[in-house]
């Protein structure tokens, strides 16, 4: 298995003592797998996704991605691992307003000390073509609609060909039509890239686009 979470628990320290958010969560996913994570607000969906994405550390248990436990890596190596192996799409697009669409998609490649910038730029252009924005490369984010901005964010998440693509409420700010379009786009690119896709969503319509669904319920994952 490419992504394995074993016995993962998360407590947050609070003034009232530890807050137990997740308990003994287990997940195994391979390339080509796509999982929707549902559950009420505050149930721990983002916490779970952040741990899969190495942005937060489990209190107990282990997570490995392609055989590496990222939490054992020194900080610099962890940052490089995250940059190279994991793509993120958030509810807010987090595009840089002063940069063009193409420059935004290339942002992850600045960190990775790209050795083949011409090839990477060609790939970024190709991705923008695939998300339907090939004609908007020089536009600024402010010149795009909400759905278009989120499609740029999807292209940016994929530019370094991550094995793991994580999306936290990626359609939460979009109207129904754009939400469906972004959901279908995520699935299409996931199939083409043969990566692992994990999408947190409130939306049953979006969840249904993914072949597997789980619900975070009282700190554990329940197959729904």
Which residues are at the interface with ligand ADP (CB under 6 A)? 12, 14, 19, 21, 39, 41-47
Query: What are the residues whose beta carbons fall under 8 Å from the beta carbon of 178, sequence distance 6 or more?
Result: 145, 146, 147, 150, 171
Which range, of 9-17, 29-37, 42-50, 55-63, touches Mg ion by CB under 5 A?
Answer: 42-50
Of 191, 195, 187, the residue nearest 36 (C-alpha): 187
Strand arrangement of the beta sheet that strand 60-65 belongs to: 17-29, 3-14, 60-65
CB closer to ligand ADP out of 21 and 179: 21
CB closer to ligand ADP out of 160 and 165: 165
CB closer to Mg ion out of 46 and 104: 46
Query: Residue 19 binds what, of ligand ADP, Mg ion, none (CB under 5 to 8 Å, by partner type)?
Result: ligand ADP
CB closer to Mg ion out of 128 and 179: 179
Looking at 46, 91, 104, 195, which residue binds Mg ion (CB under 5 A)? 46
Query: Residue 109 binds what, of Mg ion, ligand ADP, none (CB under 5 to 8 Å, by partner type)?
Result: none
Element (H, E) at 2: none
Query: Residue 133 binds what, of ligand ADP, Mg ion, none (CB under 5 to 8 Å, by partner type)?
Result: none
Tokens linked to 6 = 């074993």
The distance of closest approach from Cβ of residue 37 to Mg ion in the complex, given in angstroms and rounded to an integer, is 10
Beta strands per DSSP E along the chain: 3-14, 17-29, 34-38, 60-65, 86-89, 164-168, 196-200, 212-217, 220-223
Q: Which residue has the tokens 């390339």?
A: 31
The distance of closest approach from Cβ of residue 214 to Mg ion in the complex, given in angstroms and rounded to an integer, is 15
Distance between CA atoms of residues 208 and 211, nearest Å: 7
Residues that bind Mg ion (CB under 5 A): 46
């Amino acid at each position: 298995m490419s992504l394995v979470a074993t016995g993962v628990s998360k407590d947050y320290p609070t003034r009232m003592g530890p807050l137990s958010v997740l308990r003994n969560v287990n997940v195994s996913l391979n390339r080509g797998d796509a999982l929707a994570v549902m559950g009420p607000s505050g149930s721990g969906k983002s916490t779970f996704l952040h741990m899969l994405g190495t942005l937060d550390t489990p209190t107990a248990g282990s997570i490995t991605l392609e055989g590496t436990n990222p939490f054992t890596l020194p900080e610099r190596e962890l940052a490089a691992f995250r940059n190279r192996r994991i793509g993120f799409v958030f509810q807010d697009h987090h595009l840089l307003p002063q940069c063009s669409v193409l420059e935004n998609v290339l942002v992850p490649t600045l960190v990775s000390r790209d050795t083949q910038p011409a090839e990477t730029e060609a790939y970024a252009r190709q991705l923008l073509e695939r998300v339907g924005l090939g004609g908007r490369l020089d536009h600024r984010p402010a010149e795009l609609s909400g759905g278009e901005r989120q499609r740029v964010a999807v292209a940016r998440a994929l530019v370094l060909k991550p094995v793991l693509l994580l999306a936290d409420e990626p359609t939460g700010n979009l109207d129904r039509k754009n939400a469906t379009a972004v959901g279908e786009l995520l699935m299409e690119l996931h199939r083409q890239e043969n990566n692992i896709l994990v999408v947190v969503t409130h939306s049953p319509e979006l969840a249904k686009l993914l072949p597997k669904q789980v619900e975070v319920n009282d700190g554990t994952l329940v197959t729904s």
